[in-house]
Amino acid sequence: QHNRMDQAGYNLKYLDVLAPALRALQSTFRLTFRVVSSRPPHMPGVEIEFRPWDFHREVADLQDATIGVMPLEDTSGPGASAA
């Protein structure tokens, strides 16, 4: 079982799909992609503001974001249950 901090780092692989779109947006607009996680993502060509995840700062780190993205595993397949 992963603790929350480890899970955040584990989910970084799901951000890879966003890299091409972020690069395109950043070529036209002033945009910084903030990542709050246990470790920084590797997204070449994407301007990233990395903030190490901390339980005491989590809400403050996310409150001033304009748009939020939370990568999650696709659990909609066979055997998945809705909450």
Choose between 49 and 82: higher pLDDT: 49
CA atoms within 13 A on the CB side of 33: 24
Going by pLDDT thresholds of 50, 70 and 90, the confidence category of residue 49 is: very high
Q: How far apart are CA 63 and CA 54, in angstroms?
A: 14
Q: How high is the mean pLDDT of the chain?
A: 80
Going by pLDDT thresholds of 50, 70 and 90, the confidence category of residue 15 is: confident
CA atoms within 13 A on the CB side of 72: 6
Query: pTM of the entire structure?
Result: 0.71
